[in-house]
């Protein structure tokens, strides 16, 4: 409203903090691409993104080992670059990740696995990270597989 | 914040229902009010007498029975979906509340989410 | 436009079970945003209160569907962010 009182116009806008939850896997859903389009637009509009949470099949986005053909977008790489450039946490749910063969070095050692494949800066953590976003009043937007 | 986690996928054919239950239990573990809603083919999670071992999976029946103990406020099932899958009240696990899916139901929660 | 009570983000085509579920949950003060294959619903719009129904531009364009919907209903990612930030609630179907 243009007639707002001066003190109101000086008050920062209500915290526009988003958490994006991606549950659709790259190359079997459009979810990671739509989420990236949303995330870029959110930052361009001066909103903050507190974290990206990968859940279910979405954890495949954090794989360092996916190698799409050279004329296709490498979604894992694109997301990792976006997170690093903007210092946004990317968290893969540990239960979803372990089930689907996505591990970091400490999980590799714990389970005696032949390798690890988590792409930096993604981290592995529990659902508590998602609960924290939801409970702290972040606007949580989910990106599921389509159909 | 009151959360509603919706399960609309049937059991055993995907991990989505199991992962939705994990979401609800996590919210409850952190003392966040949460209810679980089964609708569409998801109501088949609630049928008594499942033997998940026959497909080398774990039964979710015990987890669902324990959900209220862990703080999940309600297990809700959509009436229309129960009819569609031939589930009368007596066929459902204990403590399931039959309700009608729609604006009024989802509008009562601050946070409505699916697992996938 | 008055702020939306709930923004429904729908990325499933009309023959998907969750598409029907979503339509059952849309209230009079809600808005519907079609994304990904959800935009295929623009050919089925008789279902939907069109004043509060929007579709994401890149998904429409990718599928050759922009001519099927009025330009006021076509939104960008920037608009999507704004709608998601200002609606009271958001549900992704």
* CATH-assigned architecture of domain A14-143: 3-Layer(aba) Sandwich (3.40)
pTM recorded for the entire structure: 0.94
Report d(CA C55, CA A45) in Å as an integer. Answer: 20
- Model confidence at A2: pLDDT above 70: no
> Which one is the CATH code of C6-92: 3.40.1260.10, 3.40.50.920, 3.40.462.10, 3.40.350.10?
3.40.1260.10
Give the fold, CATH level 3, of B3-48+58-114.
Hypothetical Protein Ychn; Chain: A, (3.40.1260)
Domain ranges for chain C: 6-92
Number of H-type helices and E-type strands within chain A: 6, 5
**B39 contacts C91? CB cut-off 8 A:** no
ipTM over 0.90: yes
Q: Does C92 contact B114 at a Cβ distance shorter than 8 Å?
A: yes
* Domain boundary assignment for chain A: 14-143
Do the bridges between strand B96-99 and strand B74-78 make them parallel or antiparallel, or are there none, so unpaired?
Answer: parallel
A93 catalytic residue (yes or no): yes
Q: How much of chain B exceeds pLDDT 70, in percent?
A: 100
- pLDDT band at residue A12 using 50, 70 and 90 as cut-offs: very low
Q: Out of A93, A97, A103, A118, which one is annotated catalytic?
A: A93
Buried b / exposed e along C33-51 (16+ C-beta atoms within 10 A): bbbbbbbbbbeebeebeee
Q: Which chains touch A (3 or more CB pairs under 8 A)?
A: B, C
pLDDT of residue A101: 98
Contact C38 A146 (CB under 8 A): yes
CB–CB of B7/B115 below 8 Å?
A: yes
């Amino acid at each position: 409203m243009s007639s707002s009182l001066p003190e109101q116009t000086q008050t920062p806008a209500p915290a526009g903090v988003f958490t994006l939850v991606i549950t659709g896997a790259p190359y079997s859903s459009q979810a990671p691409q739509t989420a990236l389009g949303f995330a870029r637009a959110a930052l361009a509009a001066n909103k903050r993104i507190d974290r990206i949470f990968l859940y279910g099949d979405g954890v495949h986005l954090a794989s360092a080992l996916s190698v799409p053909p050279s004329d296709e977008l490498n979604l894992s790489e694109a997301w990792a670059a976006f997170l690093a450039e903007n210092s946004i946490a990317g968290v893969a749910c540990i239960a979803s990740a372990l089930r689907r063969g996505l591990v970091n070095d400490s999980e590799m050692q714990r389970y005696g696995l032949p390798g690890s494949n988590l792409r930096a800066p993604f981290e592995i953590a529990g659902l508590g990270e998602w609960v924290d976003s939801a409970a702290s009043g972040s606007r949580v937007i989910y990106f599921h597989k389509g159909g | 914040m009151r959360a509603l986690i919706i399960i609309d996928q049937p059991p055993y054919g995907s991990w989505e229902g199991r992962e939705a239950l994990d979401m609800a239990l996590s919210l409850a573990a952190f003392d966040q009010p949460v209810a679980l809603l089964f609708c569409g083919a998801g109501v088949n999670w609630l049928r008594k007498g499942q033997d998940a071992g026959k497909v080398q999976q774990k039964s979710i029946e015990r987890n669902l029975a324990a959900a209220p103990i862990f703080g999940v406020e309600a297990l809700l099932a959509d009436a229309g979906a129960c009819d569609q899958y031939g589930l009368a009240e007596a066929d459902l696990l204990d403590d399931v509340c039959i309700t009608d899916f729609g604006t009024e139901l989802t509008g009562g929660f601050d946070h409505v989410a699916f697992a996938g | 436009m008055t702020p939306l009570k709930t923004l429904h983000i729908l990325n499933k085509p009309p023959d998907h079970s969750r598409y029907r579920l979503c339509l059952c949950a849309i209230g009079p003060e809600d808005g519907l945003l079609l994304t990904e294959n959800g935009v295929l619903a623009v050919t089925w719009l008789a279902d939907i209160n069109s004043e509060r129904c929007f579709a994401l531009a890149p998904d429409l364009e990718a599928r050759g569907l922009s001519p099927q919907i009025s330009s006021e209903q076509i939104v960008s990612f920037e608009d999507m962010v704004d709608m998601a930030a200002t609606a009271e609630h958001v549900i992704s179907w």
